[in-house]
Chain A
Amino acid sequence: MNSIADIGGMHGFGPIERDKPTDPIFAAPWEANTFAVNILALAGGCFNIDASRHSIERMSAIDYLSTSYYEHWLHSLEDVLIAEGVFSAEEYAQALATVANAEEK
């Protein structure tokens, strides 16, 4: 399918920003958690890799280009876990509200 993810050969992205040897593997703890949860949920059979890829490929160009790499993973986790019925959108909204409240206290 045509998708912004199929970016090879596209023009206009400018210079490559190289890393420094001191850069951490994960820029923040949430990135590390997103990575690990995704791999474990995949290994545990919650969804397969193609569903995960397809979810990222269906992101709109604006969402895809304006969010970071691990935000793409987060997006696909939310998308496929709800689509596969692992939890419902309502349960997710509820869990989000709960963690947000806990954070504020």
Chain B
Amino acid sequence: MSHDNHTAPPSDPALRIKAIQTLLVEKGKLDPDAVDEMIDIFQNKLGPRIGARVVARAWMDPDYKARLLTDGTAALKELDVSGLQGEHMHVLENTPEVHNVVVCTLCSCYPWPVLGLPPVWYKSAPYRSRIVMEPRSVLAEFGLTIGDEREIRVYDSNSEVRFMALPMRPEGTEGWSEEQLAELVTRDSMIGTAEALTLAQLAEGQS
């Protein structure tokens, strides 16, 4: 196997994947057009705006929120959100008492249908090793201070169950539309390394 051969100089990753792709196409195991389609989906179609819409709906509709917290997978399907790496979704409600944050200590498990692909830091050794041990300090590095009175729960994802945090609805958003509310929901607020944007932060971001 390749990793036993330590004497050969390592090839450029671009050449390695090209060689693999060529062989798989030759063997009839891979449709070259499917590669471009797959890249397009993950680069341009999936992403945290989908999750933001789900959160906004939950903020507007208490019945939907209850269903989302009880059976995340089914409630997401109501909004046509489902797919690879989201087969068993569990949604975690952040409250004044409890703050939830998500990690995959073993690798990079992440709820693709609601958030797309994870950022590099989520897959990195520092985040994976430290968030389970010292969540308060790690969250502080993200600019999120969680008071000692508030419990932090860290959820370790795996290849079956995927988690997503439901951030708290910001103050001063009574009467807002779903579209307006979704603007407040960031990727990090659904991982749990941030809260939803405050109105001041939103105004700052748009200026």
Contacts and interface: CB of A to CB of B under 8 A. Distances in A.
A8 B156 contact: yes
Contact of B35 (A37, A87, A91, A103): A37
Given A25-B42, A25-B116, A44-B29, A16 B126 contact: yes
Given A8-B129, A49-B159, A65-B125, A99 B120 contact: no
Contacts, number: 175
Secondary structure call for the A interface: helix
Contacts of A6: 105-106
A96 B19 contact: yes
Interface stretch (B7-15, B50-58, B60-68): B7-15
Contact of B20 (A5, A24, A37): A37
B24 A37 contact: yes
Contact of B3 (A10, A29, A75, A100): A75
B174 interface: no
Contact of B138 (A16, A33, A83): A16
Given A23-B119, A37-B21, A40-B35, A16 B11 contact: no
Nearest to B25: A37
Contacts of B105: 6-9
Contact of A8 (B15, B108, B128): B128
A25 B20 contact: no
Majority DSSP secondary structure for residues of B touching A? helix
Interface in B1-34: 1-3, 11, 13-24, 27, 29-31, 34
* Residue from A49, A78, A99 with most neighbouring chain B CB atoms (10 Å): A99
Contacts of B36: 36
Contacts of B123: 69
Interface in B88-121: 103, 105-108, 116-117, 119-121
B180 interface: no
B111 to A, nearest CB: 16
Nearest to A49: B159
A16 B121 contact: yes
B150 interface: no
B84 interface: yes
B20 A77 contact: yes
A91 B1 contact: no
Contact of A69 (B31, B84, B106, B108): B108
B39 to A, nearest CB: 5
Nearest to B37: A36
Query: Closest 5 interchain pairs by CB?
Result: A8-B105, A36-B38, A95-B19, A30-B14, A13-B126
11 contacts: A5-B106, A28-B14, A31-B13, A49-B159, A69-B120, A71-B13, A78-B2, A78-B20, A89-B1, A92-B20, A99-B18
